[in-house]
Amino acid sequence: MNPKFWVDKRVLITGHTGFKGSWLSLWLQSLGANLTGLALEPPTTPNMFELTNIGEGMRSYEADIRDFNAVEKVVSEARPEIVIHMAAQPLVRHSYQNPIETYATNVMGTVHLLEALRKEGCSKAVVNVTSDKCYENKEWVWGYREDEPMGGFDPYSNSKGCAELVTSAYRRSFFLVKGIGLATARAGNVIGGGDWAQDRLIPDILKSFQDRKSVVIRSPDATRPWQHVLEPLSGYLTLAEALWNDQSNFAEAWNFGPKEEDAKPVSWIVDHMVDLWGEGASWILEHEQQPHEAHFLKLDTSKSRGALSWAPRWDIHKALDKTISWHKAWLSCENLKKFSLEQINEYSASTST
């Protein structure tokens, strides 16, 4: 990734008030991008967007991706050269309770954005962030490659597979002929400071630790490709640069995940966090029946490593350490914008593992 590339580039981020969107917005602000965001209000209280005053460094529009007229208006005013689409309903368990909302946001929200960009015709590079859960999960022990079939058992995972198909249709039907590079990015389970979402492992663990309660774990054997939030974000930025320079050869799907040995079961993650936190932290097993979630999921990132020269920089040990240090900085009322920028700078200066 070339930091100078982003200076004064007109960039639109959807979902900029969320966990990943806040980190990406802060990073792009530090690189000098001309940044616009489109999202609902921050999804939790507290949240990283407000704690780090991200709205001061960009034009921030509160709009619903399900409202085409609102999306079209923002795109028309921002005229983005580069777009990174992250607005989503991102939770598996929430999708069981609210499937209509999930499909409306993740599928039709994607249609609305792509249609607005098609009509405006000002963009050169568009990255649609979907999910590693978009694949038809067969519980294989090896990682999924970008040409594996789409699927998804639960509404969230399935909606992300649908978003991939929508992107493919828009790319082939409209964007390629307009010279717009449109790609999708699939990442693993991201962790890091500033995430307070419900029904996510790391936020649940940290909340229990700070409240001096035992963490309740429902699927200790489930294995996921854990990675610090800055890992996939660096991939999205690298991919956007590649699309800018070559609107056709990079306009496809890309995986961004950790090294194979960093795909760990939940029990390993919580045990390691117990050790890092100290102070008598502990966990117990939830025995109630839970909705279906994939047991085993890994990504094959050979394509990104080869064609984009992208590779993870922080292993799972470093990722967990940085996550806990950020959370403790929040509990200590430190300057979180400064603290977050220091982590971004440290990541940028590090080398691939």
Could you give the CA distance from residue 21 to residue 34 in angstroms, rounded to a whole number?
Answer: 15
pTM score, whole prediction = 0.95
3-state secondary structure 127-150: EEECCHHHECCCCCCCCECCCCCE
Burial class (CB in 10 A: 0-12, 13-18, 19+), 322: buried
Regions of the chain short of the pLDDT cut 70: 289-295, 353
Could you give the CA distance from residue 273 to residue 323 in angstroms, rounded to a whole number?
Answer: 10
Coarse DSSP helix, strand, coil percentages of the chain, rounded to the nearest 5 percent: 45, 15, 35
Q: What is the pLDDT of residue 320?
A: 97
Q: What is the pLDDT of residue 294?
A: 58
Could you give the CA distance from residue 299 to residue 228 in angstroms, rounded to a whole number?
Answer: 15
Geometric angle at alpha carbon 291, from 225 and 44, rounded to 5°: 70
Domains in the chain, please, with CATH? 7-195+226-261+299-316 (3.40.50.720)
Q: What is the pLDDT of residue 208?
A: 95
Residues 117, 167 contacting (CB under 8 angstroms): no
Nearest to 247 by CA among 81, 131, 129, 116: 81
Cβ count near 90 (within 10 Å): 23
Could you give the CA distance from residue 204 to residue 132 in angstroms, rounded to a whole number?
Answer: 21
- 3-state SS, residue 333: coil
- 3-state SS, residue 176: helix
Instruction: With both helix axes pointing from N to C terminus, report the angle between 316-331 and 201-210 in degrees, rounded to the nearest 10.
Output: 40
Which tens digit of pLDDT belongs to each residue from 319-333?
Answer: 999 999 999 999 999
